[in-house]
Copies of this chain bind each other. A is one copy, B any other.
Amino acid sequence: MAEPGPIVDLRQSPTALRIQRGVMRHLREALDVCAYAEVPLSNGRRADILGLGPKGEITIIEIKSSLADFRVDAKWHHYKDFCDRFYFAKPPELEAEIFPETEGLMVADNHGALVLREARHEPLASARRKAMLLKLARLGAARIHLLMDPGERLPRL
């Protein structure tokens, strides 16, 4: 991994960061799901939020902070190859109707989130889940270690 990711990614808008915080808090407090922000995937994309349930269930949440943000992204469906459930997350002021009805949807602010539409359950193949658990376990260790002891030579994920 060239770059295990800072805790706050300066490329994100304040709205996106509020949604990130609210969704991650909801996952932790309501669902017992442990979540990472900004997870690099093997297809070269980064998941905004990736949650890991107590049985290894993987949920990806793609944050869309504005209509423009949604329209500019034609590649969101590629995230679905890396999770059991996929949601968009939007701020309260953005209309729910712009999102595809086939996908899960959350609304979130700085303090929490609410599921507006449940995602379909499309289970990952077991080999991919296993590979992702290993990568996530290494990613978590590398990010924490970087805070404890900054270094240049970091593991490749």
Contact = CB atoms under 8 A, between A and B. Distances in A.
Interface stretch (A64-72, A93-101, A114-122, A149-157): A149-157
A54 B137 CA distance: 10
Given A134-B52, A134-B56, A155-B54, A36 B141 contact: yes
A46 interface: no
A25 B141 CA distance: 12
A57 to B, nearest CB: 10
A19 interface: no
28 contacts: A24-B148, A24-B149, A28-B145, A28-B151, A29-B151, A29-B153, A32-B156, A33-B155, A34-B138, A34-B139, A34-B145, A34-B155, A35-B141, A36-B144, A52-B134, A52-B137, A130-B130, A133-B133, A133-B134, A133-B137, A136-B137, A136-B141, A137-B137, A137-B140, A139-B140, A140-B140, A140-B141, A140-B144
